[in-house]
Amino acid sequence: MSDPAAAALPVTVLPTSDPRIRAEVEGPIGRLIVANPARRNAVSLDMWKAIPQAIAALETHPDVRVVVVRGDGDLAFVSGADISEFATVRRDAASARAYEASNAEAFAAVRHVAKPTIAMIRGFCLGGGMGLAVACDLRIAATDAVFGIPAARLGVGYPPDCMADVVAAVGPQRAKEMFFTARRMAAAEALEIGLLTAVHSVEALENETIDLALAIAHNAPLTIRAAKAAIDAVTAGTLAHDRDRLIALTDACFASADFAEGRTAFLEKREARFHGA
């Protein structure tokens, strides 16, 4: 179960450009919270634009070792983009391209953050919510979660990089089926097709997320950074191009004080205390 001491830690709120995108730090856990409950956490253009700054603040915070992405309240992770503003912000091809650029930058910020990310999903995870979720490294959900990409019912295009995230998460055939049918799926099916790593009861989800985040946070940050970079390169097909950078990240692990601490802790049969250096 989650660490009671961690639960008692003070929460630091970091500044963001939109109050509906919140960035918080509690011990080693950073949180990106989409907070628009009146619209089931639908994301407006201003909110998309705020996400990269919020992610950057969490990534550079010295205490943060893992970032949890979640929605505010219990109705939705993110129900999608805010369709009520489409007539203005996506009124034609030019404005749609500008909107998609902000959309893609938000997904990219989550996708490329060096620290591990976990999507904690309750309720609706649709459209742009799916985009945020699949940009994360790990996804866990409550039994009430509902997934879908309704783009084909709205006539909108989907950012190619986000499309790549969906394919990486579930494979090309499942991705096509999701886009072609625009149907919704329950958490159990999402788990079955590999979109999720775990499904928990509504009551247990938050504690299970904290447990997972703390398990990651207690391990060696440099090792996790190198592993994430290598796995992402394999998935993206850039392993050969990125080889020198990936080797440098691996070398940094062996040159670190954490490597010495890990060896010593193992021999002394105690838990290692890693500092990311």
Element (H or E) spanning 23, and its range?
strand 21-26
Half-sphere exposure of 174 (CA within 13 A, CB side): 19
* Chain-centroid distance, C-alpha 197: 13
What local confidence, expressed as pLDDT, does residue 246 receive? 96
Q: Which pair of tokens denotes residue 57?
A: 């603040």
What local confidence, expressed as pLDDT, does residue 85 receive? 85
Q: Cβ distance 275 to 258 under 8 Å? A: yes
Q: Concatenate the DSSP letters of all residues of 59-120 into one string.
A: HH-TT-SEEEEEESSSSEEE--B-GGGHHHHTSSHHHHHHHHHHHHHHHHHHHH-SS-EEEE
What local confidence, expressed as pLDDT, does residue 91 receive? 79
What local confidence, expressed as pLDDT, does residue 87 receive? 79
With the C-alpha atoms ordered 33, 107, 237, 171, is the resulting torsion angle positive or negative? positive
What local confidence, expressed as pLDDT, does residue 10 receive? 93
What local confidence, expressed as pLDDT, does residue 6 receive? 46
> Interhelix angle for 160-170 vs 93-112, to 10°?
50
Half-sphere exposure of 82 (CA within 13 A, CB side): 21
Element (H or E) spanning 21, and its range?
strand 21-26
What local confidence, expressed as pLDDT, does residue 106 receive? 96
What local confidence, expressed as pLDDT, does residue 37 receive? 93
Q: Which residues of the chain have pLDDT under 50?
A: 1, 3-6
Q: Would you say the pTM of this structure is higher than 0.75?
A: yes
